[in-house]
């Protein structure tokens, strides 16, 4: 056997076994959460192709994440005119100058968050509600904050309609987190910040995971996964990405180069990894 074949064969076998495991889990209803009572829809084939081609062929290996991505109807979180493109390997606009991140980035951030059943999870930047729905397939305790009131209302309505009514959504200052619901086992932020917001670090449990893109607008950005260890954030993983920047409420904006005076809110960015 040639060297190339020796290297490729194990990967093919791993993908085959993982696909088989995910299929068994989906048939058995294992690892599927709040919205799992839906019947198959006309996008089922496209959704499963997305999981197989965009996620499993990369580095998404958590079976529960793959099942969640293969369950949540992404096409219902985008404008109707874009439904046919919902499962493509790219972000899409959702209105109000916002986007829904590409499937791979949603899956990667979810995998890095290591969400277990019963975990308390905070998402900063609700957007369409898609990421929150994926998280709700993994745990029944999800909180999500969105700066734009109308976007928060629409996302909450979509989540309720699709069986994810347990997700708590509110419009507010995401830079401050959700203190009354803290501490959290995992926090996911969906836009690039210059540094980790102190309030989010404080609201993370010991052993908790923080997934957040860091870097300047239009510059080099890095998606990072931290774990809180002995009260400090320890970086464990990173990936070059391109996200939109954190957006501050107009009344709280500081001058160029200044730190936020206590209120910064991310908008869901395209989440496209740099190539």
- Residues taking part in catalysis: 101
Cα angle for residues 225, 231, 233 (degrees, 5° grid): 20
* Cα atoms in the Cβ-side hemisphere of radius 13 Å centred on 151: 27
Cross-strand bridge partners of residue 193: 214
- Provide the token pair at 87: 């499962």
Peptide bond into 183 cis (omega under 30): yes
Query: What is the distance between the alpha carbons of residues 57 and 20, in angstroms, rounded to a whole number?
Result: 14
CA distance 187 to 55: 22
SS3 76: helix
- For residue 37, the Cα-to-chain-centroid distance in whole angstroms is 22
Which among 194, 240, 230, 191 has a CA at the least distance from the CA of 212?
191
With 0-12 CB in 10 A as exposed, 13-18 as middle and 19+ as buried, what is 143? buried
CB-based contact 208:236 (threshold 8 Å): no
Q: Which residues pair with 122 in a beta bridge?
A: 143, 187
CB 87 within 8 A of CB 101: no
């Amino acid at each position: 056997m040639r060297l190339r074949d020796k290297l490729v064969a194990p990967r093919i076998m791993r993908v085959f076994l993982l696909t088989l495991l995910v299929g068994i889990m989906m048939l058995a209803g294992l690892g599927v959460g709040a919205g799992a009572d839906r019947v198959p829809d006309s996008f089922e084939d496209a959704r499963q192709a997305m999981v197989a081609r965009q996620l499993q062929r990369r580095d998404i290996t958590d079976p529960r994440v793959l099942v969640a991505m293969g369950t949540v109807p992404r096409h219902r979180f985008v404008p109707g005119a874009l439904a046919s493109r919902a499962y493509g390997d790219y972000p899409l606009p959702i209105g109000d100058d916002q986007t829904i991140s590409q499937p791979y980035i949603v899956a990667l951030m979810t995998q890095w968050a290591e969400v277990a059943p019963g975990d308390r999870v905070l998402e900063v930047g609700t957007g369409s509600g898609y990421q929150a729905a994926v998280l709700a397939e993994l745990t029944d305790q999800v909180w999500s904050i969105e700066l734009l009131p109308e976007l928060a209302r629409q996302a909450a309505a979509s989540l309720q309609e699709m069986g994810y009514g347990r997700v708590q959504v509110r419009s507010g200052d995401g830079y401050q987190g959700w203190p009354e619901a803290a501490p959290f086992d995992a926090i996911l932020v969906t836009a690039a910040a210059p540094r980790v917001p102190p309030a989010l670090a404080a609201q993370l449990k010991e052993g908790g995971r923080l997934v957040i893109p860091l870097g300047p607008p239009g510059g080099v950005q890095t998606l990072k996964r931290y774990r809180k260890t002995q009260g400090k954030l320890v970086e464990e993983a990173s990936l070059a990405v391109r996200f939109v920047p954190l957006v501050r409420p107009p009344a709280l904006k500081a001058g160029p180069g200044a730190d936020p005076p206590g209120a910064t809110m991310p908008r869901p960015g395209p989440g496209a990894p740099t190539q």
